Structure 1
Amino acid sequence: MAAIEIKRVDATAVLTMNRPDQRNALDFAMREDFAAAVAEVRDDESVRAIVLTGAGGHFCAGGDIKTMGEQQGKRDIFEGRERIRKIHRWFDELVDLEKPVIAAVDGVAFGAGLSLALCADFVLASPRAKFCSVFARLGYIPDTGAMYLLPRAIGLSRAKDMVFTGRVVGVQEAKEMGLVQTICEQDLLQSALDFAERFHSAPTGALGIAKSVMNHAFESDRKTVYAQESMAQAMCRESDFHEEAVRRFLAKEAPLYQWPDAKP
């Protein structure tokens, strides 16, 4: 059984973390499967959106502490560094994926599970979702990109609060922080699929470029962003999507892509 299950629903790829007995904790097999799964959806041009979720009523409990316990004793420090760097390789691919990524968070999103929620463009959560930067409880610092992504998502002061205290944040507080976009009272996965379907008719290339530029906007100066903007806009202007969108506008036909007013 694969630790990451990939299922297609029309043009959406659903990536399900599939270790329900361990609340989908990240072990070595899941890390390897993540690398393969991210590469697969990245390279499949028929995939227009990605939903990331977990099996068995939880999103992800973070790193597999049982595995950590089995590795107690003196370890090579450089091996430990490389272990984290291997995670960064596929995690960065997921963060920078030039397609919309929606996290459907049910139950716990702790530690690296919090990071996996943060890597999504949109976070939809069930009323029972809980978030925690649990690392301090283990004498660790946040990893899997959390120290980069968390302050950008909720602000530096709130990020320090979560990291320093290691406290559990409920879904309502997470929404108030800006960590969660929508609390789904009904079927969470179906809500995420309905949300993802909105992007099936979107200009994937244009959204991908916009995502790439915005992902690095905080560490880019204004002139650099302007340069990226001008280059990207020139590319988008030559796309088939733009040509057809303009034709439809002038012909007073239905647009290729228009965000519906209804909320998920």
Structure 2
Amino acid sequence: MSYETVDYEVRDNGVAVLTLNRPAQRNALSVQMRDEIAELLPRISHDAAVKALVLTGAGEHFSAGGDVSNMRKPVTARTPADSRSTLRDVHAWLPQFVGLEKPVIAAVDGVCYGAGFSLALAADFTVCTPRARFCQAFVRIGLVPDFGALFLLPRIVGLKKAKELMLTGRVVEPDEAKALGIVCEIHPPERLLDAALVIATRFCQGPTEAIGVTKTLLNQTFQSDERLMGELEGFAAASVKTLPYHHEAVDRFFSKQPLRFDWDRLASQDSNPEGES
């Protein structure tokens, strides 16, 4: 199946790559692009061959945010109900993206503004280049943050810092984004996609079901109390203990074989692929 505003491929190692593909518009999130992402999400979720997802942008930018060209209609041509309906359509699929039970790695170059910033926040890991720029730009054009930013950003940076970034609309550069926990790694532009793929590929060795359930539970932790989280932990643990991956890992442990998913070992192999000492 082909798409006009996004590219999607599943590589042989189980990593899927979703590319926002409107480089001439700095990958602004048009209605068509949003619809195509929404159409793709069930496919990604239900494809057992996909173990991790990399999200990136074509060209030199991740995403400039919402498509401002769609905002140029006369005020009389837009009603509050129209605008609300548009965002309700987004929020019909955005929770699926946030809750995707597979690791999502965003690879950010250039501008990551507005709704594009929100989409990067929805990923589990974000890597960027030194020329990446993050901005909650909504206030600059008299809008309220959307695309899940009001929910996601405070949970990552804290309420007071989220207020600062949203109420000022100032630009956040890579070093600050890393210090705030928005970004986990910074790489040169020519290595950005490879760095994201390295992270994703490590997860292909992992227990996809257990990782997915862990992610789902973590997404509930700020809306739940300790007792409820404890109950959810119990049900989740009982479920994943029945899976083949767990039994194989226990057998490997007792037979003193290397575990398939050992992040530190995999990271060491990635940094020293030839096995050099």
CA drift at 1:238: 0.6
Runs of at least 5 residues in structure 1 that lack an aligned partner in the other structure? none
Q: 1:193 aligns with which of 190, 197, 207?
A: 197
1:128 maps onto 2:136 in alignment? no
1:246 maps onto 2:250 in alignment? yes
Aligned match of 1:64: 67
CA drift at 1:71: 5.5
SS in 1 for 2:143: coil
SS in 2 for 1:109: strand
1:3 maps onto 2:5 in alignment? yes
Q: 2:76 aligns with which of 57, 69, 73?
A: 73
SS in 2 for 1:26: coil
Aligned match of 2:99: 96
Aligned match of 2:158: 155
SS in 1 for 2:259: coil
Aligned match of 2:274: none
Counterpart Cα distance in 2 of 1:53 and 1:72: 33
1:16 maps onto 2:19 in alignment? yes
CA contact (8 A) 1:4 1:37 kept: no
Q: 2:239 corresponds to which letter in structure 1?
A: M
Q: 1:62 corresponds to which letter in structure 2?
A: G
Query: Which residues of 2 match residues 136-215 of structure 1 at below 5 A?
Result: 136-185=139-188, 186-215=190-219
SS in 2 for 1:198: helix
Aligned match of 1:34: 37
CA drift at 1:28: 1.0
Aligned-residue sequence identity (percent) comes to: 44
Deviations 1:204-238, CA, capped at 9 Å, x for gaps: 10011110010110110000100000000000111
Q: 1:134 corresponds to which letter in structure 2?
A: A
Q: Structure 1 segments of 4 or more deviating over 4 A?
A: none
Q: 1:177 corresponds to which letter in structure 2?
A: L
CA drift at 1:89: 1.6
Q: TM-score, normalised by structure 1?
A: 0.97
CA drift at 1:74: 4.1
Between 7-16 and 64-73, report the one with greater CA deviation.
64-73
CA contact (8 A) 1:15 1:50 kept: yes
Counterpart Cα distance in 1 of 2:5 and 2:75: 24
Counterpart Cα distance in 2 of 1:252 and 1:204: 23
Aligned match of 2:111: 108
Q: 2:45 corresponds to which letter in structure 1?
A: R
SS in 2 for 1:127: coil
Counterpart Cα distance in 1 of 2:159 and 2:5: 33
Counterpart Cα distance in 1 of 2:92 and 2:194: 30
Runs of at least 5 residues in structure 2 that lack an aligned partner in the other structure? 272-277
Counterpart Cα distance in 2 of 1:254 and 1:177: 34
Deviations 1:153-189, CA, capped at 9 Å, x for gaps: 1111111111010111111111111111111135100
Deviations 1:10-69, CA, capped at 9 Å, x for gaps: 201000000000000011110111101222111101000000000011001000001111
1:54 maps onto 2:33 in alignment? no
SS in 2 for 1:249: helix
Q: 1:111 corresponds to which letter in structure 2?
A: G
SS in 1 for 2:102: coil
Q: 2:239 aligns with which of 235, 238, 244?
A: 235
SS in 2 for 1:13: strand
CA drift at 1:79: 2.5
Counterpart Cα distance in 2 of 1:21 and 1:177: 30
Deviations 1:102-157, CA, capped at 9 Å, x for gaps: 00000011000010100000000011110000001111110000000001111111
